[in-house]
Amino acid sequence: MTSPITSFEEACRYLDDLQMHKIKLGLEAMRSSLAALGSPEETCPAVHVAGTNGKGSVCSMLRSVMSTAGYKTGLYTSPHLSSVRERFRIDDHYISEADFCRHMETIRHSLDGRQITYFECTTALAFLWFAENGCDLVILETGMGGRLDATNVVVPLLSIITTISLDHEQYLGTTIEEVAFEKSGIIKPHVPLISGVDDQQAQIVITRTCRERQAPLMERNKDFWLAREDNGPWLWKSAADQVILNLMEAEQPNLWQVDNISCAVAAAVQLRSSGFTIGPATIDTALAGSTWPGRMELVEMPLRYLLDGAHNQAGVDCLLSSLPHYRYRHLYVIWASMADKSYGDMLNDIGRVADVLLLTKPDSERAAEPGDLRSQLRCDQSREVQICSTVNEALELVQKRAQIEDLIVVAGSLYLVGEFRKLVVGEVVP
């Protein structure tokens, strides 16, 4: 008989051991596990968020709005940067080691021989913790896809799909239409959907699914907008509402977040119809203070680091489009990729703008070797390339060479960003 879990370290080891169970798309195991736990997913109203990129940022922004409005708001996201506790948050507080350990033992004891995956386990733990604390609202980020994702066991008040592009092709499909079908799986009958999707083929799939399930659809740049005139305030508008936002100055570099902000405001406005009281000033105040570690995060100490977990083509394109908003003399790029990713085009795209490209490898079995990364560089790339066997070596090299006028971009993998951030800034969760 397996011994009870009595410490945070034991809980983490138990969870890590679950990674031996391969990803299996489907909801049967998740539903069985939650039923054995008393169906905690039915306790708290939810917002369900999917999307290739931007979903974590939208979740974080909406959590900030709802907490600022006075509601006890749970947030479940993935992956984490350095501590698994980052995935579980209520308002400004992350789950404690004691609560994590206690709920992990509850899950372990309830399984009765059934196997679950790492993500199914963390999702069940989130539902247990949120239910125990009586959250007024929980915001759930899908892990991958949507239709068969472990979070897709809820009937939410509202669903959101942020963006759709190719990623995780081995699981979600090799065409935009296939990916859109998977992500549209979070759309529930009669539950409103907010779409931030730009791709027309993807939006066709979303629109058809909403029509079939009689789910009200609100599309960004069709049913709601976020825009500004000259250097004035930003104005979010829909047919029935408007919200003035003073959160971004003219030269502030976070303009890449406009689409995510627009979706987060739309969600807050829509939640009013479910009985939540959320004023325009609350939205403005909350979004002005909202941050999302490791996603376009600027760190100055005194060298300037831009930490971004961009790891697919759409994410890298977004990162590249943001760079002109930063002023720098030389651009250093520290890059790593997972070996199971198609990273060649992304690496070459960001390499074209780098003055110095440092290729490294985070502490992950999935990480590509720096030499393999270099072999993907095309001969027309004119830059200095450095091979660094560890993230710490890359940090030491850039600290010796870069000046305060330079910009150091760290991208390509959340594993890299998490390890680098821990060295430079420290843990997200104290």
Claim to verify: residue 206 and residue 327 sit in the same structural domain: no
Tens digits of per-residue pLDDT, 232-277? 788 899 988 888 887 654 334 455 688 999 999 999 999 999 999 9
Average the pLDDT over 275-298 and give the result: 90
Query: What is the C-alpha separation between 27 and 36, in angstroms, rounded?
Result: 14
Higher-pLDDT residue of 239 and 39 is 39
Asked whether residue 179 falls in the same domain as residue 319, the answer is no
Element (H, E) at 159: strand 158-161
pLDDT given at position 379 = 64
Q: Is the pTM of this model over 0.85?
A: yes
Residue 331 has pLDDT above 70, yes or no: yes
Residue 233 included in any domain: no
pLDDT, tens digit, 9 for 90 and up, residues 352-394: 999 999 999 999 888 999 999 999 998 656 579 999 999 999 9
CA distance 322 to 210: 33
Q: What percent of the chain has pLDDT over 70?
A: 95
Closest CA to 22 of 113, 132, 119, 166: 119
Tokens found for residue 86: 């980052």
Q: Are 244 and 233 in contact (CB under 8 A)?
A: yes
> How far, in Å, CA of 321 to CA of 303, rounded?
22
pLDDT at 364: 87
Q: Are residues 340 and 208 in the same domain?
A: no
For residue 387, with 0-12 CB atoms within 10 Å meaning exposed, 13-18 middle and 19 or more buried, which class applies?
Answer: middle
In a domain, 419, yes or no: yes
CATH number of 367's domain = 3.90.190.20
Q: Are 93 and 55 in contact (CB under 8 A)?
A: no
288: pLDDT confidence band, cut at 50, 70 and 90?
Answer: confident
Structure tokens at 168: 């995780």
Cα separation, 234 vs 271, in Å, equals 21
One-letter amino acid for residue 59 of the chain? C
Q: What is the pLDDT of residues 157-183, one digit of tens each?
A: 999 999 998 876 666 778 999 999 999
pLDDT score at 84: 97
Assign 325 a pLDDT band (cuts: 50, 70, 90).
Answer: confident
- The per-residue pLDDT for 244 is 85
- C-alpha distances (whole Å) from 190 to each of 144, 209, 277 are 23, 11, 22
Residues 257 and 369 in one domain: no
- 33 located within any domain: yes
CATH code assigned at 164: 3.40.1190.10
- What pLDDT does residue 250 have? 37
Residues 318, 199 share a domain: no
Least confident of 22-26, 130-134, 188-192, 394-398: 22-26
The verdict on residue 272 lying in a domain is: no
Q: 294 in the Ramachandran plot: left (φ > 0), alpha (ψ -120 to 50) or beta?
A: left
Co-location of 24 and 103 in the same domain: yes
CB 121 within 8 A of CB 150: no
Q: Can you give the pLDDT at residue 249?
A: 46
Domain encompassing residue 369: 297-424
Rounded Cα distance between 48 and 221, Å, is 21
Predicted confidence (pLDDT) at residue 297 exceeds the cutoff of 50:
yes
Same domain, 261 and 305: no
Cα–Cα distance, 393 to 132 (Å, whole number): 44
Alpha-carbon torsion angle 45, 50, 54, 57, nearest 10:
20
Q: How many angstroms separate the Cα of 208 from the Cα of each of 51, 204, 214?
A: 17, 6, 10
Confidence bin at 1 (pLDDT 50/70/90): very low
What's the average model confidence in pLDDT over 33-51?
98
Query: Mean pLDDT, the chain, as a whole number?
Result: 92
Lowest mean pLDDT, pick from 129-143, 153-167, 184-198: 153-167
pLDDT of residue 314: 85
Tokens for 308?
């971004």
